[in-house]
Amino acid sequence: MRKLIFIGILIVSALSSNRALGQVTAVGCTMDASKYSSAIGYQTTASGKYSLASGYGIKATAGSSYIFGSMQTGGDTWPSTLITTNNTQNSFMIVFEGHPVFFARLVPPPPKERDDSDSDSESEEGRDVSPPSYQTGTPAVGIGTIDPQEALDVRGSIIAEGNMTADTVKIKSDIFLSNHELSFTHYLKEWEDNITLMTLKAFYNEARLGIGTADPQTNLHVKGNSYFQGKVGIGILNPAKTFHVEGNSYFNGDIGIGTTNTFGYTLAVNGNIGCKEVKVEVSNSWPDYVFAPEYDLKTLQELDSYVKEHQHLPEMPSAKQVMEEGIGLSEMNALLLKKIEELTLYIIQQNARIEALEQGR
């Protein structure tokens, strides 16, 4: 084997000294290199223009393709099916045992081709041997794949210690958080505060998701406005309506249904309400005091004068006031009961007078 390698080196050295063959580098055993290419190692081939193959059982067949590493081992015959080949132009590949572990490529516009019409007998000074000229292209790096679909395409797991920055992230499987936190941040100018888009924190017995905040205080913490297209269920997996809550709810603030202006009310409903029962807790005293002996009941003459002047009962709101301000259900029920009790007293008084008149006959 050492004799073969030594003979190969001598042959390559002799060929390299002949300028008529062009720029060729071939070092090792059973290697093959074309013009402006280099093949180093054992069973290596660099047939692409400006290509490089270095290692064991590998090929670089495309222009400006580079490959390093080794093919899959398979006995002493080294069949061609086990040879690992990089046939992608403007690319860089690292393989181990025939498995690509790193791949990078540049997809530029078509390169500026050399004028190779000159014969091999021309002197090197008479030919353009400068590297090819390319315009700016789009880089793509693949780890675990030779067909990256994005600027960085990783097929497998990632362990990252530190920050990761990217314009777009596509995840097709699971995420393992070694530091128990995953954060997506929109980085602005140096003199502006960065915007935290989403933060996921994992604890011993719970996980917290923050949207718009870097420090979620509960399982779901949203800082800012929210929009849901579809059904939302709280406490239930299959919501029947747009917003379905199974269990008790707590709201700290005003709620508007059918309106965005609650007018200062805790619950404002623009529309009808249907229910079987409404229970109102009364804050003021209930008007049973009307039947107390010391209650000052207006005379019928006083009541008659008030009604003629104001066109409504005493203490009752006017029609104009009701149209402008509405009525309080608790207050109105108390006033109505008070007037009914006053009316009851008037009936009792009138009945006493009728009985007195009947006895005086």
- DSSP, residue by residue, 78-107: --GGG-EEE--TTEEEEEETTEEEEEEEEE
What pLDDT is attached to residue 206? 75
Q: Are both 190 and 307 inside the same structural domain?
A: no
Q: Residue 360: which pLDDT band, with cuts at 50, 70 and 90?
A: confident
Phi, psi of 319 (to 5 degrees): -60, -40
What pLDDT is attached to residue 261? 93
For residue 195, list its beta bridge partners: 186
Which one is predicted more confidently, 72 or 237?
237
Domain final residue, candidates 197, 226, 247: 247
Domain final residue, candidates 193, 223, 247: 247
Q: Six-digit token pair at 178?
A: 């070694």
Q: Six-digit token pair at 341?
A: 């009790």
The four Cα atoms 146, 147, 153, 158 give a dihedral, to 10 degrees, of: -40
Q: Are both 16 and 107 inside the same structural domain?
A: yes
Let me know: does 131 contact 119? Beta carbons within 8 Å. no
Q: Is residue 334 included in any domain, yes or no?
A: yes
Q: What element of type H or E holds 255?
A: strand 255-257
> Among 72-76, 130-134, 183-187, 285-289, which is the least confidently predicted range?
130-134
Q: Is residue 258 included in any domain, yes or no?
A: no
Q: Are both 69 and 196 inside the same structural domain?
A: no
Q: Residue 144: which pLDDT band, with cuts at 50, 70 and 90?
A: confident
> Does the pLDDT of residue 89 top 70, yes or no?
yes
> Does the pLDDT of residue 82 top 50, yes or no?
yes
Q: How many domains does the chain have?
A: 3
Q: Is residue 21 included in any domain, yes or no?
A: yes
Q: Are both 21 and 94 inside the same structural domain?
A: yes
The four Cα atoms 117, 128, 52, 42 give a dihedral, to 10 degrees, of: 70
pLDDT digits (tens, 9 = 90+) for 56-78: 888 999 988 999 998 877 655 55
CA atoms within 13 A on the CB side of 339: 12
Q: Are both 186 and 292 inside the same structural domain?
A: no
> Does the pLDDT of residue 21 top 50, yes or no?
no
> Among 1-10, 175-184, 220-229, 231-240, which is the least confidently predicted range?
1-10
Q: Is residue 129 included in any domain, yes or no?
A: no
C-alpha distances in Å from residue 298, one per residue of 65, 305, 335: 108, 11, 15
Q: What's the rounded Cα separation, in Å, for the pair 58 and 35?
A: 18
Which one is predicted more confidently, 183 or 121?
183
What pLDDT is attached to residue 179? 57
Q: Are both 90 and 202 inside the same structural domain?
A: no
Q: Is residue 147 included in any domain, yes or no?
A: yes
Q: Is residue 262 included in any domain, yes or no?
A: no
Q: Are both 191 and 65 inside the same structural domain?
A: no
Q: Are both 144 and 180 inside the same structural domain?
A: no
Rounded to two decimals, what is the model's pTM?
0.39
Domain final residue, candidates 217, 247, 277: 247
Q: What's the rounded mean pLDDT across residues 22-50? A: 75
Q: Residue 137: which pLDDT band, with cuts at 50, 70 and 90?
A: low
Q: What's the rounded Cα separation, in Å, for the pair 153 and 143?
A: 6
Q: Six-digit token pair at 253?
A: 């603030």
Let me know: does 117 contact 164? Beta carbons within 8 Å. no
Range of the domain at 34: 2-112+136-156
> Among 114-118, 130-134, 319-323, which is the least confidently predicted range?
130-134
What pLDDT is attached to residue 322? 93
Q: Across all residues in the chain, what is the average pLDDT? A: 76
Name every residue whose Cβ is closer than 8 Å to that of residue 338 and which is 6 or more positions away in sequence. Answer: 287, 290, 315
Q: Are both 10 and 76 inside the same structural domain?
A: yes
Q: Are both 14 and 142 inside the same structural domain?
A: yes
Q: Are both 185 and 320 inside the same structural domain?
A: no
Q: Residue 42: which pLDDT band, with cuts at 50, 70 and 90?
A: confident
Q: Are both 189 and 332 inside the same structural domain?
A: no
pLDDT digits (tens, 9 = 90+) for 164-207: 666 666 666 555 555 566 666 555 455 455 566 677 777 667 77
What pLDDT is attached to residue 96? 86
